Amino acid sequence: MAVARPTAKPPQPIAISEEEIFASDDLLNKKIGNYNIVWKIGDSEWGPIYVAVQTSMARPVAMKVLAEDVQRNDPTAKERFTATARAQASVKHPSILAVYEAGQASGHTYYTYEYVDGMQLEEMKSQGQEITDIIALKILKVVAEGLAYLHHQNIPHVSLEARRIYVGKDNNPHLANLAALEGEGHSDIQKDFTTLATVISSLLPRGMASDPGLRGMLTKMTVEGSSGFLSWGALLQSIKTLEPKVIPADAIKLTAQEQAAIRAVEEAKRQQKRALWLTSLGVFALLWLALGIVWYNFLRGSNERNLNQMVQIPAGSFIFQNGQTAATGDFWIDKYEVTIGQYSRFLDALATNPTTEYDHPDQPPGKSHIPGKDKTEWDTYYGRARRGLDARFVPIDLNCPIFSVDYWDAYAYAKWAGKRLPTEQEWEKAGRGTNGFQYPWGNEPDLKRANSGADYELNPGPNSKGKADGYVWWAPVDAFSGDKSPYGVIGMAGNVAEWTDSWDAGHKHPVIRGGSFHTKDVKVTQRFTEAEPEFRFEFIGFRCVSDKPPKN
């Protein structure tokens, strides 16, 4: 799927000569605390702003440094500067730039925050850049979500300005952290509406949206009183109603990752050249090369956590189903359900080296292992998971379980990963232990422990939120620490049901085990034996087992 691109010139970095970058600033290429200063990107009311590399985390950050003349002119500046950083650090919203750390080192007071490799709307406007309706709607949504959050949390904040809205090189918008100290917030909601509508209109071709619904929305944002929008929530509702019409297939392009990698390599070369120009010392060359690697990893950025752990299940007998006795040998089982991020690497491997070596011998010839009904559906879900965006009004990220995979997909992934699917006996033993528990945690139901169907909604909306467990559909596989078996396996009761390698008596239907966000009964004895191997639903995933200890 094609990513939304400006119709005219795409956003480009502001042209700055090497002399301008490195001149008249004695902090460049110096170290403040845990940060190496790379280059200056602007000024604020507090002082200069730099791009720096946080050495302990190997990531680029934006760093705001309190200027000496500001401190001389205002004895309270240092205290307010640090207090403002603390206020902004308390803001936790995916649309708003996160503040990482405040501190003092080498005679400087500073705080660091999330860096966006892109441009402010103010810069785009001054350079004559243009955006599409799709990017305009994305900007509206991000800003509305961020400011709705600030209003809902009663967080004081400053007014919205074009310089406080960013569009990254991947065309994803971000809102600056607007939080302010109590008594220093000066936001006027109608003024903010007007500012946002005006700057977006100025970036659209001929100052006007192509879509009539978007045109009407931008106009309504400038109208005061009951004829306009009375809250950010009201605007957000209107945006979400319009979104399917303006972005009919959720324009996300997976090749943005590859493009980011190319840009990162080019940036690394450029930075290395600058470092060599400044000094003949080899240490600078190594520093810039390291920075290039950091840039590469940053631009490929990911919300994925390391969820590759496995749990050993000892050999022996256990209570199976309704009082039967069964036994297994030693085996290791995935602690968590296989995630979207993990499964994506399997697809990447197949794309790089197409092969049928992982396929089940009975798999239909020519079958694809792409989840869902087609590649477009997978591109949409995966694209939104990579960016931590909602899908069908449901939060999703790379740590959510892979879903809409059939038995053949699960089998092939497990073989590719050097593992296999569990038998249903292995699955049940890992989930309930040896004492015959009805649930992983014991014999008493607890709606808050697992992601069950107690909150399930067939068609979630913008205000959907689970009241029992907090999720109306899937959840990250590590979200429910209470859904934990006696062996420490997570998610055996809810989230998604799971394929096993056991079949019914006629060997026509693989057995599916466990409850899910779709079912209210999440007893660990749950089993379904009437699913065809091609059966695909959004509430079915899997996990793997191994007969050997996992490699560290």
E-strand stretches of 45-172: 48-54, 59-65, 99-105, 108-113, 118-120, 165-168
Number of Cβ within 10 Å of residue 193's Cβ equals: 26
Q: Which contacts qualify for 242-245: CB closer than 8 Å, 24 or more apart? A: 242/137, 242/211, 242/213, 242/214, 242/217, 243/137, 243/141, 245/211, 245/213
Q: How far is C-alpha 491 from the geometric centre of its chain's CA atoms?
A: 21
May I ask the CATH architecture of the domain 128-246?
A: Orthogonal Bundle (1.10)
What's residue 552's pLDDT?
65
Residue with tokens 């232990």: 433
List pLDDT tens digits, range 66-121.
999 998 899 899 999 999 999 999 999 999 999 999 999 988 999 999 998 888 99
Query: Across-strand partners of 541?
Result: 498
282 Cβ neighbours under 8 A, 6+ residues apart: none
What's residue 271's pLDDT?
56
- Residue 77 sits at φ, ψ, to 5 deg, of -60, -45
The reported pTM is: 0.49
3-class secondary structure, 31:
strand
Which residues belong to CATH 1.10.510.10 in the chain?
Answer: 128-246
Query: Across-strand partners of 246?
Result: none
Closest by CA to 536, choosing from 398, 315, 377, 356, is 377
Tokens of residue 153, six digits = 């949390």
* Whole-angstrom distance, CA of residue 20 vs CA of residue 442: 67
Helix and strand numbers (H, E) in the chain are 14, 18
What's residue 25's pLDDT?
56
Tokens of residue 278, six digits = 């400044």
Which residues belong to CATH 3.90.1580.10 in the chain?
Answer: 310-546
What's residue 6's pLDDT?
32
* Whole-angstrom distance, CA of residue 529 vs CA of residue 250: 35
Closest by CA to 268, choosing from 296, 287, 292, is 292
32 Cβ neighbours under 8 A, 6+ residues apart: 52, 63, 65, 105, 106, 108, 110
107 Cβ neighbours under 8 A, 6+ residues apart: none
The residues of the chain scoring below 70 in pLDDT are 1-26, 248-301, 552
What's residue 248's pLDDT?
56
246 Cβ neighbours under 8 A, 6+ residues apart: 133, 134, 137, 211, 213, 214
Tokens of residue 144, six digits = 């509305």
CB 118 within 8 A of CB 167: yes
* Residues 91, 61, 46: CA angle, nearest 5 degrees: 70
Q: What is the 3-state secondary structure (H, E, C) of 325-384?
A: EEEECCEEEECCCCEHHHHHHHHHHHHHCCCCCCCCCCCCCCCCCCCCCCHHHHHHHHHH
CA dihedral 158, 113, 276, 108 (to 10 degrees): 80
What's residue 18's pLDDT?
33
* Whole-angstrom distance, CA of residue 286 vs CA of residue 187: 46
Query: Across-strand partners of 503?
Result: 510
Q: Which CATH superfamily is domain 310-546 in?
A: paralog of FGE (formylglycine-generating enzyme) (3.90.1580.10)
**DSSP H or E segment with residue 296:** helix 282-299
